[in-house]
């Protein structure tokens, strides 16, 4: 396991672009409070995080801002961090909001896929690659004979307990 070296520094693009270390680095910026660069020795990734505390619930957060390569320069990263800090000072929790956006996007995606498509994806991506031929054949039969006829027409977002019960106790 690689060790971490932590310190404070005024982050500059010239230093970031030439960054090399045998240890993982956690470098806190001296200009924007809570802004931290993390350098990972194995992957050579340079990630930025912003530490903050929510105004109302006093929850401490460490929000990933992004990779250095996602931005033009350190000034853009600082601007993003400052905007996040402004949102926090206005009583918002940007990390919570990001999590909610992800959940919403996943629900929207689920509303656009049918059970039959998910079953096919399972068969192609998991059953075919992780199971023996005889078990693959059994999975295919279960999907074709039982699952798709009863559940395949449903959107994932419509799938509820009564549908599953109906599958186990067909009328």
Q: How confident is the model at residue 167 (pLDDT cuts 50, 70, 90)?
A: confident
Strands (E), the chain: 4-9, 24-29, 35-39, 46-53, 60-67
Q: Is 142 exposed, middle or buried (0-12, 13-18, 19+ CB in 10 A)?
A: middle
Q: How confident is the model at residue 1 (pLDDT cuts 50, 70, 90)?
A: low
Mean pLDDT (whole number) for 36-42 = 95
| Neighbour count for residue 88 (Cβ, 10 Å) | 20
Q: Residue for token digits 């279960």?
A: 142
User: In which element (H, E) is residue 168 found?
Assistant: helix 161-168
Predicted confidence (pLDDT) per residue in 13-27, tens digit: 999 999 999 999 999
The answer, yes or no, to whether residue 110 has pLDDT greater than 90, is: no
Q: Which one is the CATH code of 4-94: 3.40.250.10, 3.40.50.300, 3.90.470.20, 3.30.160.390?
A: 3.30.160.390
Mean pLDDT (whole number) for 118-132 = 94
The answer, yes or no, to whether residue 169 has pLDDT greater than 80, is: no
Are the CB atoms for 63 and 84 separated by under 8 Å? yes
Distances (CA, A) of 9 to 6, 16, 27, 28: 10, 11, 7, 6
The answer, yes or no, to whether residue 31 has pLDDT greater than 80, is: yes
Would you call 165 helix, strand, or coil by DSSP?
Answer: helix
Mean pLDDT (whole number) for 156-166 = 85
The answer, yes or no, to whether residue 148 has pLDDT greater than 80, is: yes
For the chain, the domains span: 4-94, 115-168
The proportion of the chain whose per-residue pLDDT surpasses 90, expressed as a percent, equals 81
Strand order from edge to edge, sheet including 60-67: 4-9, 24-29, 35-39, 46-53, 60-67
Confidence (pTM): 0.66
């Amino acid at each position: 396991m690689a060790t971490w070296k932590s310190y404070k520094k005024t982050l500059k693009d010239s230093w970031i672009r030439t960054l090399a270390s045998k240890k993982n680095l956690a470098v806190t910026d001296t200009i924007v409070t809570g802004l931290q660069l993390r350098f990972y020795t194995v992957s050579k990734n340079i990630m930025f995080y912003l530490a903050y505390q929510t105004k109302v619930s006093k929850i401490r957060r460490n929000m990933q801002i992004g990779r250095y390569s996602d931005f033009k320069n350190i000034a853009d990263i600082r601007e993003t961090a400052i905007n996040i800090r402004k949102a926090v000072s206005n009583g918002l929790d940007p990390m919570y909001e990001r999590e909610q956006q992800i959940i919403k996007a996943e629900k929207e995606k689920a509303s656009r896929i049918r059970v039959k498509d998910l079953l096919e994806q399972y068969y192609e991506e998991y059953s075919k690659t992780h199971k023996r031929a005889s078990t693959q054949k059994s999975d295919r039969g279960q999907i074709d004979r039982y699952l798709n006829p009863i559940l395949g027409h449903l959107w994932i977002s419509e799938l509820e307990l009564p549908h599953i019960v109906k599958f186990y106790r067909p009328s």
